[in-house]
Amino acid sequence: MRIALLGGTGDIGEGLALRFARDTDHELLIGSRDPEKAREAVSEYEADLEHRGVDATLKGFVNEMAADRADIVVLSVPPYHVGDTVEAVADRLDEDTILVTPAVGMKGDADGLHYHPPGVGSVSELVANRAPDGVPVVGAYHNLAAGKLADLDVTFDLDTLVVGDDADAKKLVRDLSNEIEGLRALDAGPLANAAEVESVTPLVINIAKYNDDMHDVGVKWV
């Protein structure tokens, strides 16, 4: 399977790239608005992996080309770029490409971070509205701490919640996610249930803020 990580030079993209590269045999395409930046990230990720004895080949592209070549396109971009990024790659997507959205809208104040979804209810639903008809949209990876994810020295036992209206696409993303060591992908239902999933992201950041030794905390549903 070919997985494109758009915005794959950013924090969550880096973690997914490294974990997928280490734990699976899938082909990884790192996307960026700047192809040079994508290629630099690829060199950096390959060096990290090689240092750990993992011989992985990643490829760097401008987002549009990464999306064009992929079976799975992960929108690992900040929430305020999600809409633009979907539009930029829209004509590279079709019914056989699954669009995966991990972004969460948040706003912060002195108390902590708060869930701040777009008017449509959640970023996942915003992506579904912006995606071309027929392209399946799946929400996943919202609540993973980027620092922990990108540090391959960290062995974790975490859950990610997956939402989507296309059962086959959702199952494929769950199966794919379960290939990452220590990650369990659970079903949280249709896209209409995305808001409650996304709002866990500011919550984990608040928990990290208010408790000792809980930096980069994640979640396990038990």
- The terminus-to-terminus CA distance of the chain in angstroms comes to 31
**Choice from 43, 57, 181, 210 touching a second copy (CB under 8 A):** 210
Number of residues that bind a second copy (CB under 8 A): 36
**Choice from 25, 96, 109, 133 touching a second copy (CB under 8 A):** 109
Binding region for a second copy (CB under 8 A) out of 1-9, 56-64, 128-136, 154-162: 154-162
- Residue from 200, 203, 193 nearest 128 by CA: 193
- Rule CB under 8 A: is residue 1 a binding residue for a second copy? no
Q: Which is nearer to a second copy, 24 or 206 (CB)?
A: 206
The contacts of residue 122 (CB under 8 Å, 6+ apart) are 139, 191, 194, 195, 197, 198
Q: Which amino acid is at 93?
A: L
Q: Which is nearer to a second copy, 3 or 163 (CB)?
A: 163
- Rule CB under 8 A: is residue 190 a binding residue for a second copy? yes
- Rule CB under 8 A: is residue 126 a binding residue for a second copy? no
Query: CA-CA distance, 81 to 48, in Å (whole number)?
Result: 27
Query: CA-CA distance, 38 to 59, in Å (whole number)?
Result: 8
- Rule CB under 8 A: is residue 146 a binding residue for a second copy? no
β-bridge mates for residue 42, sequence order: none
- Rule CB under 8 A: is residue 114 a binding residue for a second copy? yes
**Choice from 112, 118, 132, 147 touching a second copy (CB under 8 A):** 112
Q: Which is nearer to a second copy, 47 or 186 (CB)?
A: 186
- Rule CB under 8 A: is residue 40 a binding residue for a second copy? no
- Rule CB under 8 A: is residue 120 a binding residue for a second copy? no
The contacts of residue 46 (CB under 8 Å, 6+ apart) are 56, 57, 58
User: Where are the extended beta strands (E) located within 124-167?
Assistant: 137-139, 158-164
C-alpha separations of 145 from 17, 70, 183, 187, 218 in Å: 14, 25, 12, 19, 6
Q: Which residues bind a second copy (CB under 8 A)?
A: 109, 111-112, 114-115, 156-158, 161, 186-190, 192-193, 195-197, 199-200, 202-204, 206-207, 209-211, 214, 217-222
